[in-house]
Amino acid sequence: MEKPDYSAMDFKELRAYVLKHHEDQEAFYALADRIRSRPSKSYTIADIDRLPEILRESGKLPKRAEE
């Protein structure tokens, strides 16, 4: 079997591949490298009032239904 090109996969594809092929350590490390290379955002206590908005932007909270 030919080895997949992990660099050609987008993040979601690579994550799905790793979940399906958990024995593929090279794929796991490729995914881990991608996760580590993602920019992270820092927040301060001043952002606490914006917490629901921040969670919605990150996809961790559903967006409000349009009224």
- Number of folded domains in the chain? 1
Q: Is residue 61 part of a domain?
A: no
**Which pLDDT value is given to residue 58?**
76
pLDDT at 66 over 60: no
CA dihedral 66, 44, 12, 59 (to 10 degrees): -20
User: Do residues 47 and 54 make contact, with C-beta atoms less than 8 angstroms apart?
Assistant: yes
Q: Is residue 5 part of a domain?
A: yes
Q: Is residue 47 part of a domain?
A: no
56 in helix, strand or coil? helix
Q: Is residue 13 part of a domain?
A: yes
Token pair of 25 as six digits = 């350590």
Q: Is residue 59 part of a domain?
A: no
**Which pLDDT value is given to residue 67?**
42
**Which pLDDT value is given to residue 3?**
87
- Answer with the residue of higher pLDDT: 66 or 23: 23
CA distance 38 to 36: 6
pLDDT digits (tens, 9 = 90+) for 6-65: 999 999 999 999 999 999 999 999 999 998 888 777 888 989 998 888 888 877 777 665
User: Do residues 17 and 4 make contact, with C-beta atoms less than 8 angstroms apart?
Assistant: yes
Q: Is residue 56 part of a domain?
A: no
